[in-house]
Amino acid sequence: MTADASRRSVLKAGGALLIGFSLADLAWAQPGPPQGPDRNRIDSWIAIHADNTATVLIGYVELGQGCTTALPQVAAEELGLGMDQVRTIAHETGVTPYQGGTYSSSAIARGRPQVQLAAAEARQELLRRAAERLGAPVGALTVERGVVSAGGRSVTYGELVGDRPFEIAFTGTAKPKPPAQYKLIGQPAARRDLAAKVAGTHGYVQHVRLPGMLHARVLRPRGQGAYGSPPRLLAVDEASIAGIPRARVVRLRDFVAVAAPREWDAVRAARALAVEWERGETLPGEGSLYDHMRGNQATDAVIEAEGDAAAALAGAAFAAAFEGETPYQAHAPMAPNCAVAEVRDGKAQVFCASQDIYALRTALAGLLGLAADAVTVRFEESAGTYGHSLYDDVAMAAALLSRELAAPVRVQYMREDEHGWDTFGPAHIGKVAIGADANGKLVGYSYEGWQHSWSFTETTDQLARGTEARTWPMGPSRSVNPAVCGGMYAIPNVRLVDHALPGAPYFRAAWLRSPLDLSFAFVSEQAIDELAQAAGLDPVEFRRRNIADPRWRGVLDAAAGASGWPGAGSRSGDVATGQGVGLGTHLSGWGGAVAEVEVDRRTGVVRVTRLWGALDAGCAVNPAIVEAQIVGQLVQTVSRMLYEEVTFDRAGVTSLDWASYPVARFADCPEIVPIVVQHLDQPSSGAGEEVMAAAAAAIANAFFDATGTRMRTFPFTPERVKAALAA
């Protein structure tokens, strides 16, 4: 893939999608204000072409989850076009509208109503014009694949609008189609990006090349230390790379990088460059992390208080308490992050894989001292990132290096950079106490969580400018989550408390797929099982008794039913088997899971052999994609429960590759049954991370069913399992 700085070629580089037509040719597609094109105008969302096709401009980016198929599906449905008549263009600030960042599984949950509304407004205007043209009332018109007909006459959308702007704002009067009329929504349309992905021709950000571009590598100590204590660069010996042709060193305070016209020369130079760092023993160290967290000064906040949880727990007929500790885990994308930037003549253009190109544009403008509208950020897909990995950090590095070297620069992180300097999903300590009455009805619930919030400042910014290490205030996805911590049950007395820790001296952190929910469910749902056992009830039956919401009941019954619950476990012998159930979600949606595990008591090796996951995401626009997302979530949950853990000593991270940070492989993959609980008449909720918490809990409960032992931390490594079984 090649690209240059002009907008026209950028749009043309969008490829065959824009056959013979470029939005750049139209004045109305020129860059908008920093917030992006006006979201209340049809032209910001939809262009109708002369050939009776449409381009939908969407703000949500493709992270591998399939939204660049499902959102066009929504637009095609509303416009009355076929899937083959609707295309999208690359995401770019000023061109594609701002719909919010592509996180919290929001692309469909928030994006569907936005696209639906824009398409409904467009359709209303198209029908108004068609009615005029055909001399028939709007109510008499029918639409089939963009052909509007009435009384034997017809006109196409292309003839009505054909490559001209609508030039109208939303009227607020357009009504999206009722679900009963859906033809495309709810159907499994094939993903549009997969053919190129298996042919090896799909362009990723790693493939962007600009004329005169230099390849750069960034140097950092192997493995980060504590956030807020960045390493200091004491000395750089440029003579150490004198033998590498045209390799150059760039140093900005504690930020150091090498660049060369040829990529391998940049790699060699990064390896050869003699650099002296000063880094202290800034971390608590792996063995004392949780003690450090418990002993640190926390800021307490009540997240939810209903009734009197303490009194209810004191008077409960059955009670269970559980405390768990869960580790830092890494995003570890298959592709180390990469970005290409060109900073020239007071303008910057950056190609990157950010989840939020508009927020990054603001950050880059600040970094470079430019106005926001002098910065263009263009999204190019990278490997799945599952949350905030180093995509913004690498974009900042590329921008700074381009400015310093007065040339386009491509920065590609190496594996150890990505694993070592990731913004990890934070560690957590959870303490839960739950009580039930004599009938097995929950009466009181208390959850306390110790964790720190997300890190605001990217490492590049810290090193290059000495920018203060700021931490986000607590909030959803980093505080105790009411939806996962007992929220699926009808409980009269609830108390949820955050013990928010400071960001330092811990690791840089950010959202990692289903942020903290695996931890919350691991703690909470194990206690629910303990309570069921105390009350002498089957875990599924106990949950049924305490669920009031039919949506929770639906996913529980779907997963339990599909699995043939209760299965027959075997606790005797060297290899024990067991089944477990769990419920959970992220912020919206309903997830239920059943796991079957096998534990080898001699070796401590745990295998998840079968996994059922039911997800109610409301209206699943494309159920085939939701099904694929369930499979992916379940495999990743197995990975996070059995294998994944950031390791470190007092100086820094020591899990720097796939050997020291193992993830699930083919052989570790259970037999998986994904279940989409469809509700076409409901709003869509997230579908990319809402069944992981349930699966995490199901795996933990299955381990107990097999062994009679509760795991109090994950991942369930053989050493840890043997120690737990011996205790």
Partner 1 sequence: MAEQLELGINGERRRVSVERDTPLLYVLIDDLGLEGPKFGCGLAQCGACSVLIDGREVRSCVYPAASAQGHEVITVEGLPGWHAQRSGNDEREPPLHPVQVAMIEEQAPQCGYCYGGMVVKAAELLAGNPSPTDAEIVAAMNGHLCRCGTYPRIVAAIRRASEAMRA
Q: Which is nearer to partner 1, 282 or 354 (CB)?
A: 354
Q: How far is the CB of 261 from partner 1 (least distance, A)?
A: 10
Round to whole Å and give the CA distance between 114 and 40.
Answer: 10
Q: How far is the CB of 202 from partner 1 (least distance, A)?
A: 6
Q: How many residues bind partner 1 (CB under 8 A)?
A: 61
For the window 209-228, what string marks contact with partner 1 as x by the rule CB under 8 A?
Answer: ------x-------------
The answer to whether residue 645 forms part of the interface with partner 1 (CB under 8 A) is no
The answer to whether residue 206 forms part of the interface with partner 1 (CB under 8 A) is yes
Binding to partner 1, residues 227-266 (CB under 8 A)? 262-265
- Quick one: which segment of 32-40, 52-60, 407-415, 459-467 binds partner 1 (CB under 8 A)? 407-415
A 10 A CB-CB count for 288 gives 12
Q: Which of 152, 172, 178, 200 binds partner 1 (CB under 8 A)?
A: 200
Round to whole Å and give the CA distance between 119 and 48.
Answer: 11
Binding to partner 1, residues 526-545 (CB under 8 A)? none
- Quick one: which segment of 231-239, 342-350, 375-383, 585-593 binds partner 1 (CB under 8 A)? 375-383
Q: How far is CA 320 from its chain centroid?
A: 33
- Orientation of helix 67-79 relative to helix 111-134, angle to 10°: 30
Q: Which is nearer to partner 1, 332 or 653 (CB)?
A: 332
- The DSSP result for 135-160, as a single string, is TS-GGG-EEETTEEEETTEEEEHHHH
Q: Which of 125, 325, 380, 381 binds partner 1 (CB under 8 A)?
A: 381
The answer to whether residue 201 forms part of the interface with partner 1 (CB under 8 A) is yes
SS3 category, 401: helix
Q: Which of 106, 467, 639, 713 binds partner 1 (CB under 8 A)?
A: 639
The answer to whether residue 624 forms part of the interface with partner 1 (CB under 8 A) is yes
- Quick one: which segment of 50-58, 294-302, 527-535, 660-668 binds partner 1 (CB under 8 A)? 660-668
Round to whole Å and give the CA distance between 537 and 657.
Answer: 45
Q: Which of 22, 253, 657, 718 binds partner 1 (CB under 8 A)?
A: 657
Q: Which is nearer to partner 1, 383 or 488 (CB)?
A: 383
Q: Which is nearer to partner 1, 382 or 471 (CB)?
A: 382
Locate 700 and state its tokens: 């933990």
Q: Which is nearer to partner 1, 204 or 277 (CB)?
A: 204
Q: E strands of 464-531, at which residues?
A: 493-501
The answer to whether residue 207 forms part of the interface with partner 1 (CB under 8 A) is yes
Q: Which of 41, 110, 191, 217 binds partner 1 (CB under 8 A)?
A: 191
Q: Which residues contact 266 (CB under 8 A, 6 or more apart)?
A: 214, 215, 216, 217, 247, 258, 259, 260
Q: Which is nearer to partner 1, 347 or 415 (CB)?
A: 415
The answer to whether residue 386 forms part of the interface with partner 1 (CB under 8 A) is yes
Q: Which of 44, 52, 53, 65 binds partner 1 (CB under 8 A)?
A: 65
The answer to whether residue 16 forms part of the interface with partner 1 (CB under 8 A) is no
For the window 327-356, what string marks contact with partner 1 as x by the rule CB under 8 A?
Answer: -----xxxxx--------------------
- Orientation of helix 517-534 relative to helix 692-707, angle to 10°: 40
Phi and psi of 259, rounded to 5°?
-140, 150
Q: What share of the chain is helix, strand, coil (3-state, %, to 5)?
A: 35, 25, 45
- The DSSP result for 95-115, as a single string, is TSPP---S-TTHHHHTHHHHH
Q: How far is CA 100 from CA 60, 68, 361, 381, in A?
A: 7, 15, 13, 17
Round to whole Å and give the CA distance between 707 and 603.
Answer: 14
SS3 category, 85: helix
Q: Which of 132, 144, 167, 193 binds partner 1 (CB under 8 A)?
A: 193
Round to whole Å and give the CA distance between 391 and 325.
Answer: 29
Locate 350 and state its tokens: 């950056």
Q: How far is the CB of 66 from partner 1 (least distance, A)?
A: 7
Q: How far is CA 4 from CA 32, 270, 357, 417, in A?
A: 20, 27, 18, 28
Site residues, partner 1 (CB under 8 A): 1, 63-66, 190-191, 193-195, 197-204, 206-207, 215, 262-265, 267-268, 332-336, 381-384, 386, 412, 414-415, 624, 628-629, 631-636, 639, 657-659, 663-667, 669, 671-672
